[in-house]
Structure 1
């Protein structure tokens, strides 16, 4: 009952605090400005951590009331959370140096050890030689290293709307499950209170329904604080004589941020760069390059993260040896590193998965109609216009193949629909694709899919490499085409109110190859 109260109060208080901070943030400079390497285009408050901090205060108050014998530990927890929040907020506002952040993180890890009694000493039987336990002198620096790594791993996945919050929520839910079934009331209460705080934040941060962008960001204040608190909880459930799961399970519960961060750092070292140099090769970057929208990316990574954690927990409960779980985790890491080390190969694989799922790309440029049996753009416009629910304009281009990259004389069309994300929800793209596919179904052999441009940054077949098999692939895909007709059509309530049709000069080549 206390856990449920903590969850509901944490969530409600988080929503109220964040809503208040949205109003205050612009006045005190707590906003993230677009520009430089940032993907967002709007001034956004980075006050998500305030909601999680409010939930932490609720949790500490309940813990002191329910378990007063551990008062020092709960006060240490509170100090760690508040100080980490303050350091993250200062970093958001004034950009602290990495050295200062690391020193303070290490200091808080020491407070966690000496004040909270949370220390990572038991490695378990991960090497098939029996349980390994470090002495206190070795366990302290090991705990500091692990805590700093956990803090920064969560911080590094905080790259798109809803991702870090979803990862944190999945981790907290798994910890709460383990603690609840294991009878650890204090950990269960703390995990659920923090989960409520994160869920309150996600209400403002996730893209869903008509909310097309995040209204607040978590910021370093939230991600660094959550990373520290997650580390506290993971050590608590895996250490000591009353450990609920073996230590290796902690790596499974927090698998995705760790695997992603380590893979990116090793790839940088492999390429002769600093492991701390910035790049755009995290998994969420690769998924976005493959065309996945932000909400799709968050859903995929959140599901993968939860599945990995559940796998580790299930393995421990089913009696799988710790060494086998360790090998399994290592296999996951090596497979992940192998796939992501060569983005120019991995991204096309992801694009194939995206296409198989029938999703519409984030940077959708229109509708591609292959093997088009319609001979004039007016026929295509009459097919497309009734499917559009909004007053809009769309451009239709009809091409005919000339070269050997397809049947000579075969035609294809590209229909580009103007959709303003601020006016029309993104889901209209998916809706239009389904409706146009359905309308084209009676036509013989015609197929409809999304139209996107290939990106040379991660697409080998359009990269300027002078390699024989790459050249062959390019010859197969770059068609020698000419533009037959082009039109701009204006639609109101599904009816064509005007269309302008152009007939290019004979011999005009296509400005864009089919993609």
Structure 2
């Protein structure tokens, strides 16, 4: 217990130090996010959250001796995705270039882990569905999906950090209870690296003067870390949860990304086109504050992850868990499809209530 306290405290302190060092450097070299177009924040905000998180995690793993061999590959893949994100923050790279780089990093991840999504579980009640080598391209798709899911949902202060925190805590619980104790440390190390970032990002430290953003480097690092741990937790010989449970752990970012991409393609638009149609944007248009939207979305993610965890340990059949997830996704997609009608209804309802109170 004492060793774990030292481990997690070290991660927290190192990430905090990295933030203090990188804030002035970011202003000096221009690694800042300036308000324009869809970005409505005040002032130039350093995009150093991801670099700080990776620095804290990487140095901690090195100091404590990298207990798992694949942690070297994690640092290689994580460092590469952070570097890609920094270049994207500076140069606004094309979608094709980003996807190609993510594919290469995904391939290195598969090689380093010696794992891929080769078993989908008993999804149709006739035994486990084994994919063999067909699981390799599916894994590459999953890597790209996870990376971009967290990248796309990083739209209001604290959201990507809090949602990834829900995923990492869920992974820690399931890996710990499921006997993967040696792997359960990494997600908690990531949680303690996220805490300093959230303190600055949510203005709990510095009151505006020390505000930072995660940047593409951070959101992509988080997505890579989540899929890395999901594959270890569901596909290794010591797997601690079923593949279908992974959907629940990453439910909100995944559902938001897929629903938005489907909606864009129906309109004849690029699925990677930036817009203001995500769940957090909708909550803001309904009149909620950024902090209220953060609490609601994080609560939703926590509820869905809890359903997944409970379903895992009650051994609810894979098919039932999959169908329930698809029902949730269908409801989510329908809500987005008719969101403008829902929004108008809520606004009219509020207006009528105000009129009654103040005739």
Q: Report the TM-score, using the length of structure 1 for normalisation.
A: 0.66
> What is residue 194 of structure 2 aligned with on the other side?
198
Distance 1:55 1:351 in 2: 45
Distance 1:226 1:350 in 2: 35
Distance 2:346 2:210 in 1: 25
Residue of 332, 335, 343 corresponding to 1:336: 332
SS of alignment partner, residue 115 of structure 1: helix
Counterparts of 1:378-389 in structure 2 under 5 Å?
A: none
- Check whether the contact 2:50–2:82 (CA below 8 A) recurs between aligned residues: yes
- Check whether the contact 1:118–1:235 (CA below 8 A) recurs between aligned residues: yes
- Check whether the contact 2:26–2:32 (CA below 8 A) recurs between aligned residues: yes
> What is residue 130 of structure 2 aligned with on the other side?
133
Residue of 98, 118, 125 corresponding to 1:121: 118
Distance 1:102 1:7 in 2: 33
Distance 2:35 2:167 in 1: 30
> What is residue 179 of structure 1 aligned with on the other side?
175
Distance 1:49 1:186 in 2: 25
SS of alignment partner, residue 227 of structure 1: helix
- Check whether the contact 2:106–2:140 (CA below 8 A) recurs between aligned residues: yes
Distance 1:341 1:250 in 2: 26
Using the TM superposition, name which of 245-254 and 179-188 deviates more. 179-188
Distance 1:301 1:354 in 2: 22
SS of alignment partner, residue 120 of structure 2: strand
Which one has the largest radius of gyration? Answer: 1
- Aligned-pair RMSD on alpha carbons? 2.3
CA offsets per residue over residues 431-490 of structure 1, 9 Å max, x none?
xxxxxxxxxxxxxxxxxxxxxxxxxxxxxxxxxxxxxxxxxxxxxxxxxxxxxxxxxxxx
Structure 1 residue 213: deviation in Å? 9.0
5+ residue gaps, structure 2: none
Distance 1:198 1:349 in 2: 38
Using the TM superposition, name which of 175-184 and 156-165 deviates more. 175-184
- Check whether the contact 2:82–2:220 (CA below 8 A) recurs between aligned residues: yes
Describe the shift of the 1:371–1:115 C-alpha distance in structure 2 as closer, same or farther (beyond 3 A).
closer
SS of alignment partner, residue 109 of structure 2: helix
Distance 2:135 2:324 in 1: 25
5+ residue gaps, structure 1: 359-367, 373-411, 413-515
> What is residue 86 of structure 2 aligned with on the other side?
89
SS of alignment partner, residue 122 of structure 1: coil
Describe the shift of the 1:335–1:20 C-alpha distance in structure 2 as closer, same or farther (beyond 3 A).
same
Distance 2:350 2:158 in 1: 20
Which protein, 1 or 2, shows the higher relative CO under an 8 Å CA cutoff with sep ≥ 6?
2
- Check whether the contact 2:200–2:206 (CA below 8 A) recurs between aligned residues: no
Structure 1 residue 268: deviation in Å? 1.6
Describe the shift of the 1:153–1:353 C-alpha distance in structure 2 as closer, same or farther (beyond 3 A).
farther
Distance 2:299 2:40 in 1: 23
Work out whether 1:261 is the aligned partner of 2:263: no
Distance 2:170 2:130 in 1: 25
> What is residue 285 of structure 2 aligned with on the other side?
289
Describe the shift of the 1:37–1:251 C-alpha distance in structure 2 as closer, same or farther (beyond 3 A).
same
- Check whether the contact 2:180–2:238 (CA below 8 A) recurs between aligned residues: no
- Check whether the contact 1:56–1:194 (CA below 8 A) recurs between aligned residues: yes
Residue of 124, 129, 149 corresponding to 2:145: 149
Distance 2:150 2:349 in 1: 26
Using the TM superposition, name which of 121-130 and 84-93 deviates more. 121-130
Describe the shift of the 1:349–1:239 C-alpha distance in structure 2 as closer, same or farther (beyond 3 A).
farther
- Check whether the contact 1:51–1:198 (CA below 8 A) recurs between aligned residues: no
Describe the shift of the 1:107–1:371 C-alpha distance in structure 2 as closer, same or farther (beyond 3 A).
closer
**Count of equivalent residues:** 357
CA offsets per residue over residues 31-61 of structure 1, 9 Å max, x none?
1111122121221001001221123214532
Distance 1:86 1:60 in 2: 19
> What is residue 162 of structure 2 aligned with on the other side?
166
Distance 1:317 1:349 in 2: 40
SS of alignment partner, residue 34 of structure 1: coil
> What is residue 232 of structure 1 aligned with on the other side?
228
Work out whether 1:38 is the aligned partner of 2:34: no
Counterparts of 1:99-110 in structure 2 under 5 Å?
A: 99-110=96-107
Describe the shift of the 1:64–1:141 C-alpha distance in structure 2 as closer, same or farther (beyond 3 A).
farther
Using the TM superposition, name which of 74-83 and 274-283 deviates more. 274-283
Counterparts of 1:373-412 in structure 2 under 5 Å?
A: 412=359
Distance 2:51 2:346 in 1: 36
Distance 2:59 2:346 in 1: 42
Structure 1 residue 247: deviation in Å? 0.4
Distance 1:216 1:354 in 2: 35
Distance 2:322 2:209 in 1: 39
> What is residue 217 of structure 2 aligned with on the other side?
221
Structure 1 residue 348: deviation in Å? 4.1
> What is residue 396 of structure 1 aligned with on the other side?
none
Distance 1:34 1:265 in 2: 25
SS of alignment partner, residue 124 of structure 1: coil
